[in-house]
A and B are shown apart, each in its own frame.
Chain A
Amino acid sequence: MPLRVTVDHDLCVGNGQCVFLAPEVFRHNENRQSEAVDPAGAPRERVLQAASSCPTGAIAVVDATTDETLFP
């Protein structure tokens, strides 16, 4: 089941927890803010762990098939 992962750039402070926990999914752009480059790059549990680990709560995860919000 594919995921849709978004990062709110009003909130992202570039702490880098998501990049640390799921480097296949998240990358820092040139402003050192996180971007979800490949939502399928890591197991769902790890994507959710990265999202819940964000110190500013900038990451949202949605089930792309059902539109169900998985986080927050």
Chain B
Amino acid sequence: MASSEVAAAADPEDLFAPEVIADPYTYFGRLRETDPVHWNPRAEMWVLTRHEDLVWLLRHHELFSSAVISTDRRPPHPPIDAADGPLFEEVRAFRSDQLVEKDRPPHQSMRAAVHEYFTPQAMEAWRPFVRRAVAELLDEAEPQGRMDVLEALAAPLPVRVITQMMGVPEEDRDHLRDLADKLLYINRGEPDRMRHLMEGIDGMIEYVSPRVDERAESPADDFISVLAQAENDGVFTRHQVLVNTALLLFAGHETTMNLICNGTLAFIRNPGEWERLRADPEGAVRLATEECLRFDPPVKSTQRIAAEDVERRGKVIRKGDRLRWFMAAANRDPRAFEDPDRFDVGRQPNTHVSFGAGIHYCLGASLARVEGQEVFRALAERFAELRLETEELEYSPSVQFRSLTSLPVAWD
């Protein structure tokens, strides 16, 4: 290994350092206790880690803009292949039209147009579909005595649900899953990530465009119809309809995958808590899923950009400064949670910030909950004990996502 790589790995500000990717809790937990509003000079951004500070930041959307991609003119971090600069600009234009990148006032009417589709009540109606899909996937895996939780369950389930919501025919599912996999490069660190991402974006636009035309003519009860209607009403442009359909596929995919894998891993490592769930899967699963969300959240961090100068804990955050807020650290804040490093499936109240807070609170939160609950309930009903087939688990090199690359388990 070249000496420069050794030096880079030892940089205490390297958020992509292997030990920080493997265990974000130690590194960001230390920041939370010693320097909760921390300037990271290497990534050129503020790192916020306390529960109280995250809630404050999220509820002050007028101070902290979500339009990070469109506002921030700095080069991508980590660097991309030099030849991919033009691709980066295309990706920037695409992502700028995502709902998650919008501030008020447009955000309010855009969110209102899609909100109704995702309310807790509306998502409850999807529970039977989710339950059936989980049962089908587990029926396939169970006789084999082992599975990679990611491949067999966590990755296919959300794609099945989202493609159903999009009204996509079953035979197109694999194509959509392929596109979804490419969209996952959106917040990764690999230098060639822009190429994969652009393939995913182009593929989505190509696939979705004719379907939007169809739904604009003859609306159905699917999500594309909701967006097509919003386009008719002048709330979304056609580009925004396409971008946000892709967002739905992307946002609902990796996050749910991580909830299922990270939660399952937490249960395996805490057999006593697995027993508590198994004693009453139906009754205990709601709180248990919240604890999975808190303990090892699917999304480690998200970003904002300061819309004006703001002071917090004696630090001056300047207009235009980027901020990254770590729910992975806030969810373990001892000021907000008793015994925060303990995985406790009965924890209540559980004020985790894994779905964010404020006007951008995760649109798909209720869907994620239904999916998580149905998976953990089904696993608890079927398996007395799940064993890890390896202790060598790896996480994707992302600052945003807490994504296992595989989770091989076995049972008797």
Contacts and interface: CB of A to CB of B under 8 A. Distances in A.
Interface of A: 10, 13-17, 20, 31-32, 52-57, 72
A53 B119 contact: yes
Given A55-B120, A55-B365, A56-B365, A20 B358 contact: no
A67 to B, nearest CB: 22
Chain A's interface: helix, strand, loop or mixed, by majority?
Answer: loop
Contact of B115 (A13, A17, A56, A57): A17
Interface residues of B, number: 23
B314 interface: no
A52 B116 CA distance: 9
Interface of B: 58-60, 108, 112, 115-116, 118-121, 349, 351, 355-359, 361-363, 365-366
Most chain B CB neighbours (cut-off 10 Å) among A10, A13, A31, A52 = A13
A14 B59 contact: yes
B407 to A, nearest CB: 29
26 contacts: A13-B58, A13-B355, A13-B356, A13-B361, A14-B59, A14-B358, A14-B361, A15-B358, A15-B359, A15-B361, A16-B358, A16-B359, A20-B112, A32-B59, A52-B119, A52-B120, A52-B121, A53-B115, A53-B116, A53-B119, A55-B115, A55-B362, A55-B363, A55-B365, A55-B366, A57-B120
A32 B358 contact: yes
Contacts of A15: 357-359, 361
B108 A55 contact: no
Nearest to B364: A55
B358 A10 contact: no
A30 B86 CA distance: 45
A56 to B, nearest CB: 7
B104 to A, nearest CB: 10
Contacts of B116: 53
Contacts of B58: 13-14
Given A14-B359, A53-B119, A55-B362, 17 more contacts: A10-B349, A10-B351, A13-B357, A13-B358, A13-B361, A14-B59, A14-B357, A15-B359, A17-B112, A31-B59, A32-B59, A52-B120, A53-B116, A55-B361, A55-B363, A55-B366, A56-B361
Contacts of A52: 119-121
Nearest to B353: A13
Contacts of B349: 10
A30 to B, nearest CB: 10
